[in-house]
Amino acid sequence: MTTLVACLYRGTSLGVDGPVVGATAVENLVTTVGIDDPEDSRVNCILEGLRVARDLDDDTVVAVLAGTGETITGEREIAGQVDSLIEQYDPDSAIVVVDSVEDERLVHIIESRVPVDAVDRVVVRQARDIESTYYLLKQFLADEELRKTVLVPLGVTLLAFPALLAVVESVTVAIGAIAAVVGVFLLYKGLNIDSLLSALSAGTKNALYSGQVSLVTYVVGGGLALVGLFVGVLGASSLDVETTGELLLFMQFVYDSIPWLTAAALIASTGRLLDEIIQNERIRGAYINLPFVAIAVGLAVRGFAAYFLQISEIIPPVELPPMALGAREIEAVTLAPGTHLALFILASIIVSLVGVRVASYVSNADYGQAPADG
């Protein structure tokens, strides 16, 4: 079995015509090349080829394939030398020794003519980290998406810094402004907000073209939510933060805004339910339960907010008016804060159970089954 150990040498001329074949001829060549340029990394490539040929048990033919320049002409020179070696020695396999990633791209020339068992890449130990960094940077600069993500913001930052200094005349303010902009950009890319915005735009366009009811209810719900936030802020601003504290201020905001927010969630979820009814023959129980969940959560949150405000005497306790039941008259009753909270919690639980029951009933009806009793 004959193995060809091929050292690829591309670049400046060796001073002799390739290929250089045989251990003796290769040793003479490496001595000549090493004396002319001791720092040439291809000296190590040729020495590695000699070592590989020495350690193999097969009948080996060591050769240096030389091409002039990194051009197509140089690659065709190497291809012609491979053909001459195959015609003369008829090797069964080959081992290719290279000293760089650029030379490793020529392996296909040999591989197309004779099976290649291994590729031995030689890197000078002192230069391993430098060369790896070089090729990493080269790959980075070749990636268009990475260039846009990193180099463009960096260039804009360097251009904006002197402009900000000229405007604000303060290094601290300029650095802070640039850091804020870069931070916003990194969050924008890191959280993939551009994809979310694209998906939102596509969903909105689809809703407009398909005539979905939920698009209108979402707009109405958004408007109600804004009204609720505004009402909550007005209610909280009517209190004195020094006498009430931040917690009660927040409770007042929740107490005033939660009816509007609950209405917004109820309208939005109802619109989604209507879309489900229009588009699908079978309605999923989760969509039916959404309006009930919105009401139940709103009742619970409103009850807790009212409890804190009532025990702090910011709002008065709830007083039930007198009622007449036939000949019997019931006097007015004032509900304690704890009783008032318990009623809200009970109402929230009842509404959620009704939602589960209705969803279960409709889902079973869609499948043509009778709802289970109990």
Q: Among 20-24, 209-213, 342-346, which is the least confidently predicted range?
A: 209-213
Is residue 214 within 8 A of residue 275, CB to CB? The reply is yes
Is residue 85 within 8 A of residue 8, CB to CB? The reply is no
- Looking at residue 78, its amino acid is I
Q: What is the pLDDT of residues 36-69, one digit of tens each?
A: 877 777 788 889 889 988 888 778 899 988 877 6
User: What confidence score (pLDDT) does residue 73 get?
Assistant: 78
Is residue 45 within 8 A of residue 8, CB to CB? The reply is yes
Question: Is the model's pLDDT at 367 over the cut of 70?
Answer: no
Q: Compute the average pLDDT of residues 21-25.
A: 89
Cα-Cα end-to-end distance for the chain? 85
Token code pair at residue 109: 């020339």
Average confidence score pLDDT of the chain: 79
Neighbours of 217 (CB within 10 A): 21
Rounded distance between C-alpha atoms, residue 250 and residue 258, angstroms:
12
Most confident of 103-107, 201-205, 286-290: 103-107
Contacts of 64 (CB under 8 A, 6+ apart): 6, 7, 9, 14, 18, 19, 20, 26, 29, 46, 49
Rounded distance between C-alpha atoms, residue 80 and residue 17, angstroms:
12
Rounded distance between C-alpha atoms, residue 47 and residue 52, angstroms:
9
Spatial CA neighbour of 207 closest among 197, 218, 196: 218
Any idea what DSSP says for residue 322?
Answer: P
What pairs with residue 324 in β-bridges?
Answer: 329
SS (H, E, C) 230-282: HHHHHHHHCCCHHHHCHHHHHHHHHHHHHHHHHHHHHHHHHHHHHHHHHHCCC
Neighbours of 106 (CB within 10 A): 22
What pairs with residue 96 in β-bridges?
Answer: 6, 119
Confidence of residue 374 (pLDDT cuts 50, 70, 90): very low
- Looking at residue 35, its amino acid is I
Rounded distance between C-alpha atoms, residue 277 and residue 274, angstroms:
5
Q: Is 10 helix (H, G, I), strand (E, B) or coil?
A: strand
Token code pair at residue 218: 């979402």
Q: What is the pTM of this model?
A: 0.46
Any idea what DSSP says for residue 20?
Answer: E
Residue with tokens 């890197």: 123
Residue with tokens 């396999």: 93
Q: What is the pLDDT of residues 116-150, one digit of tens each?
A: 988 888 876 555 555 566 666 666 666 666 666 67
> With the CA atoms of 116, 118, 122 and 128 taken in that order, what torsion angle do they form, in degrees rounded to the nearest 10?
120
- Cis before residue 371, ω within 30 degrees of 0? no
